[in-house]
Amino acid sequence: MSVDGTWKITVQTPMGAQESTIVLASDGSALTGTQSGNGEEGPIYDGSADGDSATWKVDITNPMSLTVTFKAKVSGDSISGSASAGLFPSAAFSGTRA
């Protein structure tokens, strides 16, 4: 299943659940898009897609400046995986197509 599309996800962080919307577009193994949530929006980068798997990074500034690396698997209209930022422990996320 393709990772392309708009996704509503929730990341289970140590500071509580953080919701965001991701728009993903693959071109071969390259993955581009945007991620918005918590009052900010920005491009994803270093993205790659391989079948039902994807990875990407996004920079956030709220609640602090961090680069978050996402590793995801798609199953039908569901997406799940992990998000890691700096020295913080990896956090699980899940979501559905919007």
CA atoms within 13 A of residue 58's CA, in its CB half-sphere: 24
Res 1: pLDDT:
62
Res 2: pLDDT:
87
Residues of the chain under the 70 pLDDT cut: 1
- 67-96 burial, b at 16+ Cβ within 10 Å, e below that, comes to ebbbebebeeeebebebbbeeeeebebebe
Q: What fold, for 5-97?
A: Lipocalin (2.40.128)
Res 69: pLDDT:
97
Res 31: pLDDT:
97
Domain ranges in the chain are 5-97
